[in-house]
Chains A and B, each alone.
Chain A
Amino acid sequence: MSPVRITLDGEPFTGRDGQTIAGVLLASGRRSWRESPSGAPRGVFCGIGVCFDCLVTVNGVRDVRACRRRARDGDAVTTQSRAGEEAR
């Protein structure tokens, strides 16, 4: 299987073809990548697209469920939260 290289906030991660984005991150030891409204870390909870805890931004598109989306070579994944650059 060919390797899949993605980045999370610029940091490179390598996974296998067919893995989900969450799978690539978890396999590399990364456990969390989202902030809850109060700023606490969150990662995978339900693993099947129900809980929306694992949301990431993929190539600029927000709110993608990392546990369901297949990682594709070159995907630029970024973490997301509800906080803006500066509070309004």
Chain B
Amino acid sequence: MSRRVVVVGAGPAGLCAAAGALRAGAEVTLLDAAEDPGGQIRAWPGFERLRDHVLGHPRCGWWPETSVWSIERAGAGAPRVHVLRGEIDAAGRDRHVLRPDALVLAPGAHDRVLPFPGWELPGVSTGGAAQAFVKGEGLALGDRTLIAGSGPFLLPVAASLLEAGSRVQAVLEANPAATVARGWTRRPWELASQTGKAAELAGYAALLARHRVPYRTGRAVIEARGDGRVEEAVTARLRPDWSVVPGTEQVAAVDALCVTHGFSPRLELPVAAGCRLRAGAFADVDADQRTTAPAVYAAGEITGIAGAPAARTEGLLAGWIAGGGPPDAPEAVAVRRRRDRARAFAARLAAAHPIGAAWPGWLRPGTIVCRCEDTTYGTLRSTAADDSAHAVKLATRAGLGPCQARICGPAVAELLPAGNPHHRPVAQPIRLGELAKPPVENPGRKESAR
């Protein structure tokens, strides 16, 4: 009997993992919370061909609208995967338990946004939100938008908004030109091997130029203002450590503000599976994408923010190995080499767009840090500084709201170190009625909703 491989996430990494496992002869169940595969950005080269190959494969079961709510470690084998099938956040979805021989986790990442005064105002969103609404619904989140933060991702966000007819006022990269240029031009041979990605970025740059959208480095949005919605963005020049250069503040009238300072990997599933983290930030994997948890593999952004090209090669390799493919097969060797090149390129981009340590200088005592619970910077500061009992820290509710610290976690962890911010034993909300019902029994054979 062939190995049963469950792949969580059908973005670039997950879809490629399914392909890799199928090529190795495994029986695959591919899960995603969305209705369609492809992840957040479906327009990658070869996507449609790969999708049709994987979803149409006789050994692949495709489970759309499937949320993993718990990963249960059980003994020495692969963990059990507890899922809900049905429309997002519906009441009365079916509970299933999958018992694979190997598990590939490819849940991806979401935008990381550092807090700043007014970031909770309606009209302030992540870059990912702006892109999702353009790609998904052809909808621009505003007519007069400003894009700010750090990283190459700001460029496709700008392109999407321009495509949807928004007047993009500027793209602000918080890092100084020197840092960005150093990262982009060092070791040009790596760039040469990633010509597709470089050409894509060059295309965005040309698009901005055509629309006369300025790309300004060393400048950030440090405050959003407005009555019930964003009306103004306060921008300022930053030093390399992201401290504000006094007197450089400018006010821009906007009706939408899209901010992204990088990406946060979605780590609750690897943490639940018992995978060790690397530097507390990413799932630790070996050369074959194997995590430290038995029969659990990881691919894509949870192993390091490296973009879709790296995610695809990681997925292929993870799926191949998880499916029982020999690690020394020629195609595995080739995929490893491609993966390493893609990762090197991503490392360059990361070096070009670091997060400056002085960002908390933007905050004021009343600035909301935890959006769910309205916990302010002042509250966190007084908690962190409370040495009346030495290490005695009064509890705050930061991170305990509905998002379970997915948004504020990294920021709170910098301000108030405590615990593992990725520990979420309930990985997605499950309604009491759904939880109370016993799971639907699965034979573990091919099952498809198509």
Residues in A lying within 8 Å of B, measured CB to CB:
16, 18-20, 22-23, 26-27, 31-32, 36-38, 40-53, 55, 58, 61, 63-65, 67-70
Flag if A52 contacts B403 (CB, 8 Å). yes
Instruction: Please report the C-alpha to C-alpha distance between residue A68 and residue B129 in the assembled complex, in whole angstroms.
Output: 11
Flag if B137 contacts A19 (CB, 8 Å). yes
Question: In chain A, what residue has the closest Cβ to B227?
Answer: A41
Question: In chain B, what residue has the closest Cβ to A27?
Answer: B139
Instruction: Please report the C-alpha to C-alpha distance between residue A68 and residue B137 in the assembled complex, in whole angstroms.
Output: 12
Flag if A26 contacts B89 (CB, 8 Å). no
Of B189-197, B234-242, B371-379, the stretch lying at the interface with chain A is: B371-379
Q: Shortest CB–CB separation between residue A6 and chain B, in angstroms?
A: 14
Flag if A32 contacts B374 (CB, 8 Å). no
Known contacts A23-B136, A27-B137, A51-B403; A44/B372 CB under 8 A: no
Question: In chain A, what residue has the closest Cβ to B132?
Answer: A47
Question: In chain B, what residue has the closest Cβ to A15?
Answer: B137
Flag if A46 contacts B374 (CB, 8 Å). no
Residues in B lying within 8 Å of A, measured CB to CB:
33, 35, 40, 87-91, 110-111, 120, 122-126, 128-133, 136-137, 139, 141, 228-229, 371-374, 401-403, 406-407, 429
Flag if A63 contacts B136 (CB, 8 Å). no
Flag if B229 contacts A41 (CB, 8 Å). yes
Q: List 19 A-B contacts (CB under 8 A).
A: A26-B141, A31-B122, A36-B120, A38-B374, A44-B122, A44-B125, A45-B371, A46-B111, A46-B126, A46-B129, A48-B40, A50-B407, A51-B406, A61-B89, A63-B89, A64-B90, A67-B129, A68-B88, A69-B87
Interface SS of chain B: helix, strand, loop or mixed? Answer: loop
Flag if A46 contacts B122 (CB, 8 Å). no
Flag if A47 contacts B130 (CB, 8 Å). yes
- Which of B129, B137, B407 lies at the interface centre, i.e. has the most chain A CB atoms within 10 A of its CB? B129
Report B-chain residues with C-beta under 8 Å of the C-beta of A49.
33, 88
- Which of B89, B90, B91 lies at the interface centre, i.e. has the most chain A CB atoms within 10 A of its CB? B89
Flag if A46 contacts B136 (CB, 8 Å). no
**Contact of B133 (CB < 8 Å), options: A16, A26, A31, A65:** A26
Report A-chain residues with C-beta under 8 Å of the C-beta of B110.
46, 48, 50
Report A-chain residues with C-beta under 8 Å of the C-beta of B141.
26, 44
Instruction: Please report the C-alpha to C-alpha distance between residue A51 and residue B129 in the assembled complex, in whole angstroms.
Output: 11
Flag if B123 contacts A69 (CB, 8 Å). no
Question: In chain A, what residue has the closest Cβ to B228?
Answer: A41
Known contacts A32-B229, A40-B120, A47-B130; A52/B372 CB under 8 A: yes
Instruction: Please report the C-alpha to C-alpha distance between residue A46 and residue B403 in the assembled complex, in whole angstroms.
Output: 11
Known contacts A19-B137, A65-B88; A36/B374 CB under 8 A: yes
Report B-chain residues with C-beta under 8 Å of the C-beta of A42.
120, 122, 371
Instruction: Please report the C-alpha to C-alpha distance between residue A19 and residue B373 in the assembled complex, in whole angstroms.
Output: 29
Q: Shortest CB–CB separation between residue B112 and chain A, in angstroms?
A: 10
Report A-chain residues with C-beta under 8 Å of the C-beta of B126.
45-47
Q: Shortest CB–CB separation between residue A27 and chain B, in angstroms?
A: 6
Instruction: Please report the C-alpha to C-alpha distance between residue A18 and residue B135 in the assembled complex, in whole angstroms.
Output: 12
Q: Shortest CB–CB separation between residue B110 and chain A, in angstroms?
A: 5
Flag if B136 contacts A20 (CB, 8 Å). yes
Flag if A69 contacts B137 (CB, 8 Å). no
Flag if B402 contacts A55 (CB, 8 Å). yes
Question: In chain A, what residue has the closest Cβ to B87?
Answer: A69
Report A-chain residues with C-beta under 8 Å of the C-beta of B89.
58, 61, 63-65, 68-69
Instruction: Please report the C-alpha to C-alpha distance between residue A48 and residue B407 in the assembled complex, in whole angstroms.
Output: 12
Report B-chain residues with C-beta under 8 Å of the C-beta of A37.
372-374
- Which of A16, A45, A69 lies at the interface centre, i.e. has the most chain B CB atoms within 10 A of its CB? A45
Report B-chain residues with C-beta under 8 Å of the C-beta of A43.
122-123
Question: In chain A, what residue has the closest Cβ to B40?
Answer: A48
Report B-chain residues with C-beta under 8 Å of the C-beta of A64.
88-90
Flag if B132 contacts A48 (CB, 8 Å). yes
Instruction: Please report the C-alpha to C-alpha distance between residue A43 and residue B40 in the assembled complex, in whole angstroms.
Output: 20
Flag if A23 contacts B429 (CB, 8 Å). no
Report A-chain residues with C-beta under 8 Å of the C-beta of B228.
32, 41
Flag if A44 contacts B129 (CB, 8 Å). yes
Instruction: Please report the C-alpha to C-alpha distance between residue A11 and residue B89 in the assembled complex, in whole angstroms.
Output: 23
Q: Shortest CB–CB separation between residue A59 and chain B, in angstroms?
A: 9
Known contacts A37-B373, A68-B88; A47/B120 CB under 8 A: no
Flag if B33 contacts A18 (CB, 8 Å). no
